[in-house]
Amino acid sequence: MKTRDKILLSSLELFNERGERNITTNHIAAHLAISPGNLYYHFRNKSDIIYEIFLEYEKLVDFYLDIPEDRSITLEDLTFYLESVFDGLWSYRFFHRDLEYLLDSDRRLRQDYREFTNRCLVAISRIFEKLAEAGIIQPQPEELRSAMSLNVWLVITNWMAFLKTAHALDESTSLTLKELKQGIYQVLTLEIPYLTADYREQVMALREKYRPSLPESADASGEGCRSDQTLRNF
Amino acid sequence: MKTRDKILLSSLELFNERGERNITTNHIAAHLAISPGNLYYHFRNKSDIIYEIFLEYEKLVDFYLDIPEDRSITLEDLTFYLESVFDGLWSYRFFHRDLEYLLDSDRRLRQDYREFTNRCLVAISRIFEKLAEAGIIQPQPEELRSAMSLNVWLVITNWMAFLKTAHALDESTSLTLKELKQGIYQVLTLEIPYLTADYREQVMALREKYRPSLPESADASGEGCRSDQTLRNF
DNA sequence: CTATTATTAGAGTATATACTCTAGTGAGTC
DNA sequence: GACTCACTAGAGTATATACTCTAATAATAG
């Protein structure tokens, strides 16, 4: 594998594990056992590394959120979209953590991310539309649909931050992809009231599969019995 | 005003304006025209400053989210809660921006924030319960109510980040409290399907008040006409 | 083989950052 | 006047950070 690609891979790995803020270019070079000079031969600066990683992320999500226009949509499609989005979120999880800072440091990134968000919102809205066409949810006026899409986006992009902060974890206890995917439960919660009678049971059963399980509860770690009634559900 | 309080005030101001990550203790001291030594006389380190600011934030929100148990709840109460929470979010807006890093750097803060989140979730859930008691929304089973509360929390705490990233703003164009409060529109969107016939119109009218207005659109800044169909609503 | 280009090492640098240390100052107290 | 004590200045420090520079080595083309 080319050094350039190794740098991207290691950077992503380190960023995901310890946060972009805590990883310097020197760390990345050391982790690869190459010199800083070498790293800077391949990338002009740290921002450039991050930008290229973003482009990969963008490509991945765009690929998964390509809504077919020649056929109607099924519950399996919905599951696929949700699973894929959370997979992407997981693989590039460092990104949303320091998003604001990253966008402030790189104009290209800000612009691209803005357009990326927009495409995602359009895709989510289109999924709602097609779910209605397929008789899975009730059709909604455009205005409501786009507000709902935005809520879905907000829930998805904030779910991981919530998990990390709700956990009583030190650096030791780390998040798992499985826990992350419990965000799907939250997303499906948003759709409940709009389900048609025909599909209600099926979707509720699907949702149930993602229900957060007790064992991972932050409180089950023996920290004592605080009044975590609400978090108990997680 | 005591130097100690001035430090807290200036820190909050600078953090909010430029982000915690971009503000050093030296910046804070310089802004106050005091020496770094002086600052460190009053606070052991940067984390301590942040922790004390958090305690203020916590106190503020706890104060506003004190749900009365001796009477039923009105739409005015709901409006008050929403307005207050977004006011708080605005006044301490630096906090959620770098939340994960801050919690990683200070165990006390992590623990306290966890409990704070939990109290907020309980309060939101309680509000839903009392809205149902007041006949404003339909009553929901505990399980659904807590999942909904969490979604409300996710929308509220992520709304600002969304605005900042959706804006095509450079550092120049900054966010306003008014724009932030359009998050209330998103929160009320979550409640729409559960509204009772009696209150439906009233709540929809309330929601309408917070509808994002075109003029602030990121795209209206003359950047050209991109395919921002979805963001158009904002 | 030679010349060019791509790649790499490794020492080095300017600046920043969080924080420390010493030496006070000024207001009050006895 | 001597003493205390909260408070402050300002120089200084150890370390980190992002990045540069020079020189050397491998790869490749003619």
In this predicted structure, the answer to whether residue A193 has a pLDDT above a threshold of 90 is yes
Mean pLDDT of A87-110: 93
* Structure confidence at residue B170 (pLDDT): 56
Region A84-90: mean pLDDT is 96
Q: Where are the domains of chain A?
A: 1-43, 44-233
Interface test with A, best of B65, B96, B152, B165 (most A CBs within 10 A): B165
Predicted pLDDT of residue B229: 43
pLDDT per position as a tens digit, B91-139:
999 999 989 999 999 999 999 999 999 999 999 999 999 999 999 999 9
Name the closest residue on chain A to residue B117, using Cα atoms. A166
**What is the least distance, in Å, from the CA of A187 to any CA of chain B?**
8
Per CATH, the number for A44-233 is 1.10.357.10
Find the CB nearest A146 among B19, B143, B230.
Answer: B230
List pLDDT tens digits, range A15-74: 999 999 999 999 999 999 998 889 999 999 999 999 999 999 999 999 999 999 999 999
CATH architecture of B52-233: Orthogonal Bundle (1.10)
Whether residue A121 is predicted with pLDDT greater than 70 in this model: the reply is yes
Computed over every residue of chain B, the mean pLDDT equals: 88
- Percent of all residues in chain B with a pLDDT value above 70, rounded to a whole number: 88
When pLDDT is cut at 50, 70 and 90, the band that residue B35 belongs to is confident
pLDDT tens for each residue of B173-202 = 678 898 899 999 999 999 999 999 999 999
Q: Which residues touch strand D (CB under 7 A)?
A: A 22, 24-27, 35-37, 40, 44-47; B 2-3, 33-38, 40-42
What's the residue count for chain B?
Answer: 234
Question: When comparing pLDDT for A18 and A221, which is higher?
Answer: A18
Percent of chain A with pLDDT over 70: 88
pLDDT by residue (tens digit) across B204-222? 999 999 998 754 444 433 3
What pLDDT was estimated at residue A9?
94
Q: Indicate the average pLDDT of chain A.
A: 89
Q: How far off is chain B from A117, nearest CA to CA, in Å?
A: 7
Picking from B151, B166, B229, the nearest residue to A114 by CB comes out as B166
CATH number of B1-43: 1.10.10.60
Confidence check: pLDDT of A227 > 60: no
Cα angle A225-A228-A234, degrees, rounded to a multiple of 5: 115
Residue type present at position A38: N
B24 Cβ contacts chain C strand, under 7 Å: yes
Position A169 confidence tier, pLDDT thresholds 50, 70, 90: low
pLDDT at A218 over 80: no
Higher-scoring residue by pLDDT: B231, B6: B6
The shortest CB-CB distance from B151 to any of A113, A170, A190 is to A190
Do the chains contact at B166 and A117, CB–CB below 8 Å?
yes
Average pLDDT over residues B42-46: 91
At residue A222, the pLDDT reads 36
Q: What is the pLDDT of residue B2?
A: 85
Give yes or no for A226 touching B (CB within 8 A): yes
Kindly tell me the burial class for residue B52, based on how many C-beta atoms sit within 10 Å of its own C-beta (0-12, 13-18, 19 or more): middle
Three-state SS for chain A is: CCHHHHHHHHHHHHHHHHCHHHCCHHHHHHHHCCCHHHHHHHCCCHHHHHHHHHHHHHHHHHHHCCCCCCCCCCHHHHHHHHHHHHHHHHHCHHHHHCHHHHHHHCHHHHHHHHHHHHHHHHHHHHHHHHHHHCCCECCCCHHHHHHHHHHHHHHHHHHHHHHHHHCCCCCCCCCCHHHHHCHHHHHHHHHHHHECHHHHHHHHHHHHHCCCCHHHCHHHHCCCCCCCCCHHHC
Question: What is the model's pLDDT at position A3?
Answer: 87
The answer to whether residue A217 scores a pLDDT higher than 50 is no
